[in-house]
Amino acid sequence: MEVWRSKSFLVVAGLGVLLGGTTLAHDSPSLPRHTETVEEASGQAYGGYIGDRNFVISRGNGLHEFYFTRAIYSSWSRGYGRRGRGSWATDWPKADVQFLWGLKRLTNIDAYDFDNPVTLDNPDLRRYPFLYMLEVGAMQLTPPEVEGLRDYLTAGGFLFVDDFWGTYEWQVFEHEIYKVLPSHEIVELPLDHPLFSNFYVIEEILQVPNVGNGRSGYGTWEQDGYVPHVRAIFDDDGRLLVLINWNTDLGDAWEWAEDPWYPLTYSNFAYQMAVNAIIYAMSH
């Protein structure tokens, strides 16, 4: 069987051109859809920077097989969220939509074209078995969010964590995720795990810098996060529940993939990593 080598394939060539003129609309005009505001969906917010809730969540109606679903969670930091929202909204929605463009070109996954943020305590979260969560170094989950995420993962959901750096943010994340999965262990995911070879063969974990560092070429790390890690949480039956990308920022690489100043190597790796994770989540 043919296996595409990561270094031999330019993942995001032309993305910038494709993205030009995209309006990032949240809906397909031909399809019925449910609409709901963040405020309605999230119920009570907890101490953080939920920010402006007066916008529409994009929710699929089941027509598509895959929805790139972003977790809306409570946080004590605003992070780099758009227009003052919480850290969940970092890079949103451009990173999501731009990633989907690539995903649909690289695979034949029947993916919904647009972003799909959902709060953790929203029952409809269960409609989307793949969940993306980033900037978790500022995460501060409410009890309903803890319960919602725990049930989501127990029921069969898959969580992809990205874009948090250094010891302090790790400790915050670790503290929060253990509220969700208190009896589970976080382990390093070895490179011989099937996730690293089911679509692309990934032989090395690259540290993907944020857009500023990537453009400048000065360095790839943030805070004291010098070494990138891919860690995981498995359930008792060996099912991969949470994939943790620490000391790396895949989201920025998707978001700025069309930027001629952002190094192609990192965008390439970021796409490969996410595609592999999605394929793995859908097949295991």
Partner 1 sequence: MFEFFFKYSAYVYDKGEFVLAAGWPAIIATAVLAAIAIPVILRYSSVRGKSSRLDRSVLVTIRLCVLSIILFLLLQPSLAVSTAVPQENFVGIILDDSQSMQLTDYGDERLAPRSDFIHELFGNENSKLMMELNERFKPRFFRFSDSAERLEDLNELSYSGEQTRVGPALDFAHQELAAVPLSGLIIVTDGADNSIDGLSASLQSLRANSIPVFPVGVGMERFNRDIELTSVEAPTTVLAGSQVSADVVIEHKGFSGETVLLLVEGPDGIVGTQEVELPNQGDSTVVKAQFTTTREGPHLYSFRIAVQDDEMVRNNNQRDILIVVQDRQDKVLYVEGEPTNRTGFLRNFAIDDDPNLMLGVFMRMAENKFWRAGFESAEELAAGFPTTREELFQYKALIVGSFEADFFTTDQRQMIHDFVSQRGGSFLMLGGRNAFGEGGWQNTPVAEILPVELVPPFASAIDPFYVDVFVTPTLFGRTHPVTQMADSLELSLQHWQTLPPLGIVNQVGKVKPGAVSVLEGKTVNDETHVVLAYQRFGRGKALAFTPVNQWYWQMAFEIPLEDLTHETLWQQIFRWLVNEVPGQVTASTVVDRFAPGAPVTVTVGVLDDNFIEINNAAVTAIVTSPSGQTRGLELDWTVDTDGEYIATFIPDEEGFHQIHVWAGRDGKALGEDIAHVEIAKLSTEAFAAERRSALLARLAQETGGRLYSPENVASLPDDLRVSEGGTTVLEVKDLWDLPLIFMLLVALVGTEWSYRKVRGLA
CB of 126 to partner 1, least distance (A): 4
CB of 124 to partner 1, least distance (A): 7
Q: How far apart are CA 219 and CA 25, in angstroms?
A: 35
Where are the alpha helices (H) located in the chain, listed in sequence order?
Answer: 15-19, 38-42, 94-106, 143-155, 166-180, 211-216, 250-255, 264-283
Q: How far apart are CA 193 and CA 191, in angstroms?
A: 5
Which of 44, 61, 171, 216 lies at the binding interface for partner 1 (CB under 8 A)?
61
**CB nearer to partner 1: pick between 32 and 260:** 32
State yes or no: residue 183 binds partner 1 (CB under 8 A).
no
Whether the Cβ atoms of residue 258 and residue 273 lie closer than 8 Å to each other: no
Q: Which residues pair with 162 in a beta bridge?
A: 134
Instruction: Kindly state the tokens that stand for 204.
Output: 């090395």
**CB nearer to partner 1: pick between 95 and 275:** 275
Q: Which stretch binds partner 1 (CB under 8 A): 88-96, 138-146, 149-157, 207-215?
A: 149-157
Instruction: Kindly state the tokens that stand for 228.
Output: 């990138």
Q: Which residues pair with 229 in a beta bridge?
A: 246
State yes or no: residue 40 binds partner 1 (CB under 8 A).
no
Give the footprint of partner 1 on residues 98-117 (CB under 8 A): 106-110
CB of 107 to partner 1, least distance (A): 5
Which of 26, 42, 50, 66 lies at the binding interface for partner 1 (CB under 8 A)?
66
**CB nearer to partner 1: pick between 107 and 223:** 107
Whether the Cβ atoms of residue 134 and residue 251 lie closer than 8 Å to each other: yes
Whether the Cβ atoms of residue 247 and residue 228 lie closer than 8 Å to each other: yes
Q: Residue 91 in 3-state DSSP?
A: coil
State yes or no: residue 62 binds partner 1 (CB under 8 A).
yes
Q: Residue 240 in 3-state DSSP?
A: strand
State yes or no: residue 268 binds partner 1 (CB under 8 A).
no
> Pattern of binders to partner 1 over 225-264, x per CB under 8 A?
------------x-x-------------------------
Binding site for partner 1 (CB under 8 A): 1-2, 4, 30-31, 61-63, 65-66, 106-110, 123-127, 129, 151-152, 154-157, 198-199, 237, 239, 278-279, 281-284
